[in-house]
Structures are given as structure tokens and as C-alpha cells.
Structure 1
Amino acid sequence: MSVPSSSWAADVFGKQAAAVRFGLGQGLRNMQANAQAAQEQGASRTTRTYGTSRYENQYERLQDELKDLPGARAVKPFGFSYELMLIGNGLLYPFRYSKTKSDVRSARIPSESQLVRELFTFAPAPTHTQEPFDLDFGPTVPVAEPRGALATVPRGTQLVLVPFACNASELLEAHWGIAALGMNRQLEWATEPEPLHLPQSVTSYTLRPVSIPNQATAHTSFAEGTEPTLTLSSRTASDRALLPVQSETEPVEDQSSEDDATH
């Protein structure tokens, strides 16, 4: 069923607003299907497999659905494992706000990470940042500066949030809209968060083998095979002295934990 685009969506995405809206719903449906399949195949007693797969798929499956729209491009924030989609004047950020149905107007961003602070430089300014009579003489949090590909995003781009509710059993609901980041990670909606249509059908762009190809024509079991001959040799003390001691390097700051990916 075709739903007319709201004025804010038409301003941000132009003639592609309806296509973006449809692609978001389809991508989230594919996300849920893939995450549930991973959980089923993993046969785990917990839902960690679902959570990890859902987190990855919430970015990649949306990208599948939107990447071929005219002018769409993927944007990879600094230190983040996944790409966000930039279409027209809209930078899309999907996140799970609840495991159950709840009022999206009271939703919070899962965590106020460095990535979130950089993304919200493309959002409206919050109406309130500190309670009256709050005295804080400590250091203030510096204003975030977009890094990586976010630094190339054109001025005037709007951060469009795509909050959704789901759990390992079902995809419950999804919305999109524009909001500021207020106190305690509370969202201050500048537009009315609109529900997204979530289709029942699943599309897939990944070719998966339905069976494992035969690796050999002979039906020889592992125990009946010919035992390989291994030739071992040790290095001399002078050779070992030439190899420097290996140590782990300090990891680059990883922003991929800004969302709950464990359930």
C-alpha cells in the first residue's frame, strides 16, 4: 500500500522519499529473517547469536535495499565497522530502541558513544542541555567533530533516525524521523516519528549453496586414508635470535559497541 511522503521526508529525500521508506522496511524485515536464521542454525541456549547477527544485519541489509537508488552512497564513520547510507540530504541511522512494543516518542539512544555524538552534529540542537541550578565545575565535553567519511558529508545533511523494536521472536515495529539528542540520551523529536511498513516477504542478495559440493569421488573414510609423512626440523639458536619478539599493537578505538548486540 502506497503511503504519501510527509513534508519533511520529501524535503530531505526529494522524489526518492517513498523508495527510501520502502527500502528501510524491507531491509529491516531481511535483518530479522537473517538474524533468526543464524539463531536457529547456531542452536544456542542464549540469544547472543541472534543479537550479534541482528546488529550486523541492521546496517548491511538496509544498505542492500538502498545502495542502488540514484545518488546513494555509503559513508563509513571513523572506527566503525559498518557503513551508513547517505541519500539526498538524509543520513540514515538505524538502531534498536526496545525489545518490546513501546512509545517511540520516549525512546533513548542506546548509548552516547563518540559515534553518536558525531552523528548528532547533523541533527537539530537540543532545547535543553543542563538542569537549572546544576553546578558543574568539571571539564565540559568537547563538541564532537565528524571524522572519517562523516567529515565528507555535505553541509545541510539531516540525520534521519530509524528506531525499531524487535527480539529473537519477532520484528515488532519501526519508525523514522528527525530528532535532537537531549539529556540522558533522550530523543527530542523535531518531526513526528512515522511508522514504517514492514513487509512479510523476505528478499535476499546473497547466494548460499544449498549443498556442499563433493570434494572427492572416492568414498574413503578419514581412518582409511594414507597417513601423511611429516618432516620436522628445529631452528638453530642463531636463527631464532634473528626473529624479533612479537607483541600486540594497541587497537584503534572501536565504536561498534554503541548498540546492544547481545540479545
Structure 2
Amino acid sequence: MSVSLSSWATEVFGKQAPAVRAGVGQALRNMQANAQAAQEQAESRTNHTYGSARWQGQFERVWEELKDLPGATPVKPFGFPFELMVVGNGLLYPFLYSKTTSDVRTARIPRESRLVKELFTFAPDPAEVQGAFDFEGFDESAQVVEPRGGLASVPRGTRLVLVPFACNASELLEAYWGIAALGAERRLVWETVPEALTLPDTVTSHGQHLRSFPKQATSSERELTNFDGGAEPTLTLSSRANVDQQRDVPPLTEAEPADDQTSEDDANH
């Protein structure tokens, strides 16, 4: 079934808009499945494993789904461990906005980090909230943020496309995309109506995934590798000659090491 696209999506992503929309939805489905699998394999009483795998997957799964699209370019922000995807004139930024079903129009950015500030240099300017004469203590230079790392090479005409999603360790609830400014207290001021993304039921795989645990050593096998395991060595004892004892010659406890006949220079010959 075809899904109609918003005019802003076609404007930002061009002909790739349908593929980007489908790819992002698929990426989030894969993210959730991978994170749940990691949590199950960890057999942990907390959801820390799920959370870590989900955070990693929200970027890496998007990269997997979109990297082969014509014009798709991964960019790595300064100090950030993952790559974000630029397709056409759109810079995609997925983030968790809720762990329950919630009104995305009231969503907030989880944390106003330096990365977030750099990303929002590609977003619309926020509405003015300061009074016309309320400038006391205002340092204009402190407000200037310049993109660093891979973001510095992103064309200035590029637009930040937010991908807020809601999920928890049990299920992926919903996902949206749209364009918004960063308002006061990390609130999003939407320029476009947040558009729901289609989340497929099936999971796709783009590589080798852990399907079974490596063979674990048995208790008997571990005994053979312990430092105090195995048979005791046989020691050969010999008495010193009377002449050595009379001359106070020190006993020889171990053989003198033989000169090494090889050196690093040998590798060059």
C-alpha cells in the first residue's frame, strides 16, 4: 500500500523520499528487535543491556538501511561514536522521546548537549521569547555554535529532520518525523506536523548476527588451564662437588640464557 508523502519530505529528500521514509521505519523495527535479543541473551534482571543496544541501534540500523541510497552520505559529528545519515537535503536525527505512548507534539529533546546545539544549527530559528529590552547579562558571542567534525562539511542548506520514537524493552510503540526548532526547556516547536512513520512487522538482517553462544569450557577443561592444575614437574637434584664447597663457589641455580640468534633486523633480510 502506497503512503502519501508530505510536501516537506519531497522537498527535502527529493525522489528518495519514499525510500528514506520506508528505510527509517524498517531501521527502527530492526533496532527494537536487536535490542530485545541482546537483553534476552544477557539474562539480566535490569534493562541496561536493552537500553545500551537500543541507543546504538537507533543510529547504526538507520545507517544500514539508507547507506546504499543514491546521494546518501554518513557524517560523524565531533566526539560522537556513531554516524548520522544525510540524504538529499535532509540530516536525520533519531531519538527516544518517550517510553510510553505520548503526544509527540509536546516532546522534548532528551538532553541539550553540544551535539544537539550543533545539529539545531540546521533547524529553523526558534521564535523570539526574550523581551525587546531584556538584554542584561546577555553575551551574544556565547550563543554562537559552529558545527564540528563531520557536521562541518554538511551544506548549510541542509535541514535537520527529527525522528522521535517511543519504545521500551517490551515493544516499539510509535515513531514520527518532521522539522522543528528547539524552544525553551528543550521543547520542540514543530514547523511541520509530526508525521507518523510506518513500522513494519518483519525484521531485516544486513549481516552476521550472534545466533548462539560460543562453547563454554567445562569444569574439567578449566582445571587443565588453572595455574595450580596438572601434574607436578619432576625435579632433578644433584649434590655439589667437594672442591666447589671448599672454594665457596656459589651454587648454579639455573642455566645461563643462550644468546638470541635472531633480531628485528632479520625481518628485513
Is TM > 0.5 for Structure 1 vs Structure 2? Answer: yes
CA distance in 1, matches of 2:210, 2:188: 43
The aligned counterpart of 2:52 is: 52
The aligned counterpart of 1:66 is: 66
CA distance in 1, matches of 2:210, 2:116: 38
1:221 match: secondary structure: helix
Query: In the TM superposition, what is the alpha-carbon distance from 1:65 to its structure 2 partner?
Result: 0.4
CA distance in 2, matches of 1:63, 1:71: 13
The aligned counterpart of 2:260 is: none
Identity %: 64
CA distance in 1, matches of 2:66, 2:73: 9
Alignment of 1:77-226 (within 5 A): 77-130=77-130, 136-137=136-137, 139=139, 141-208=142-209, 210=211, 221-223=221-223
CA distance in 2, matches of 1:228, 1:56: 48
Q: Would the alpha carbon gap of residues 29 and 214 (structure 1) be closer, same or farther in structure 2, given more than 3 Å must change?
A: closer
State the Cα deviation string for residues 154-174 of structure 1 (Å, max 9, x = none).
121000000000011110000
Query: In the TM superposition, what is the alpha-carbon distance from 1:136 to its structure 2 partner?
Result: 4.9
* 1:15 lines up with 2:23 in the alignment: no
Query: In the TM superposition, what is the alpha-carbon distance from 1:145 to its structure 2 partner?
Result: 0.2
Amino acid of the structure 2 residue aligned with 1:29: R
Task: Please give the TM-score of this superposition, normalised by the length of structure 1.
Answer: 0.79
State the structure with bigger RCO (CA 8 A, min sep 6), 1 or 2: 1
Aligned-residue CA RMSD in angstroms? 2.4
State the Cα deviation string for residues 59-112 of structure 1 (Å, max 9, x = none).
000110000000101000001111000000000000000011111011010011
2:199 match: secondary structure: coil
Q: How many residues align?
A: 227
Amino acid of the structure 2 residue aligned with 1:156: G
Q: Which runs of 5+ in 1 are unaligned?
A: 230-263
Q: Which ranges of 4 or more aligned residues in structure 1 deviate by more than 6 Å? A: 212-215
Q: Would the alpha carbon gap of residues 228 and 39 (structure 1) be closer, same or farther in structure 2, given more than 3 Å must change?
A: farther
CA distance in 1, matches of 2:113, 2:231: 53
Amino acid of the structure 2 residue aligned with 1:12: V
Amino acid of the structure 2 residue aligned with 1:65: E
Q: Would the alpha carbon gap of residues 2 and 80 (structure 1) be closer, same or farther in structure 2, given more than 3 Å must change?
A: same
Q: Does the 8 Å contact 1:128/1:183 carry over to 2?
A: no
Higher Cα radius of gyration:
2
CA distance in 2, matches of 1:78, 1:214: 39
Task: Please give the TM-score of this superposition, normalised by the length of structure 2.
Answer: 0.78
Greater alpha carbon shift after TM alignment, 129-138 vs 181-190? 129-138
CA distance in 1, matches of 2:21, 2:106: 22
Amino acid of the structure 2 residue aligned with 1:74: P
Q: Would the alpha carbon gap of residues 43 and 118 (structure 1) be closer, same or farther in structure 2, given more than 3 Å must change?
A: same
CA distance in 1, matches of 2:101, 2:38: 23
